[in-house]
Amino acid sequence: MKHMLKYTFSLLLVFISFSGMAQELSKKDSIAPKTERYGVRFGVDLFKLTRSFYEKDYRAIEVVGDYRLTRKHYIAAEIGNENKTVDDTQLNFTTKGTYLKAGFDYNAYENWLGMENMIYVGLRYGISSFSQTLNSYKIYNPNPYFVEAPVAVSGEEFNGLSAQWLEVVAGVKAEVFNNIFVGFSFRINRLTSNKKPQNFDNLYIPGFNRTYDGSFGVGFNYTVSYFLPLYKATVKAKKKETKKKK
């Protein structure tokens, strides 16, 4: 009996020692500073890339990227090239050129620690340099019910065209694999400047898309991107509000 009590007492001492060590480790983990990753994310627009395969009159590629500036703010940019032929009721034309869009995104999503998903809104300023080729057009016919308007082949090319615009962005990005993100965004554009050719209008602008009402446009992209972490920063703990006793 005496040996049994001694053995039990020894086990209790060992258990208490391990319990104390576990509490100390847990305490250290709880007070350890929490960090978040900062870095560069870059990828491509899959929507434009796949559209180039199934639409014969369209060729485009767009590279996207962002850099995490603060917990909620990102510097973002897109650069691309488009070549599109539009067959309208009155004319057929080809637009080709390059564009650059730069601005910022604000992440409105409150991630759990270790997550880097985004539900964001943003703003871009876009510039585009391009050319227009008038392939063919229909001559104006005052009596369309009796005689079909003849088609005139032109081939006239207008170079040195440019446009600038503001773009409002709303989108989502989610991590599907380690450092691999997929996302989509909607864009509403408004032209701020538009250098047009003589006797012709810029009905399609690379990066801006089709112009509506002369100055408005809309856009969409579907991206896959890779996040390259550069450093980690400590997350500041939120101060708890304490009520004063009356």
DSSP string for 175-244: EEETTEEEEEEEEEEEEEEEEPPTT----EETTTEE-BTTTEEEEEEEEEEEEEEEEEEEPPPPPPP-PP
Q: Can you read off the two tokens belonging to residue 108?
A: 């409105």
Kindly report the pTM of this predicted structure: 0.78
Q: pLDDT truncated to tens, each residue of the chain (246 aa)?
A: 444 445 444 543 444 344 444 444 444 444 567 889 999 999 999 999 999 999 999 999 999 999 999 999 999 999 999 999 998 877 889 999 999 999 999 999 998 878 899 999 999 999 999 999 988 877 665 555 555 554 556 678 899 999 999 999 999 999 999 999 999 999 999 999 999 887 778 889 999 998 877 789 999 999 999 999 999 988 876 655 445 444
Domains identified in the chain and CATH numbers: 35-230 (2.40.160.20)
The span from the first CA to the last CA of the chain, in angstroms, equals 60
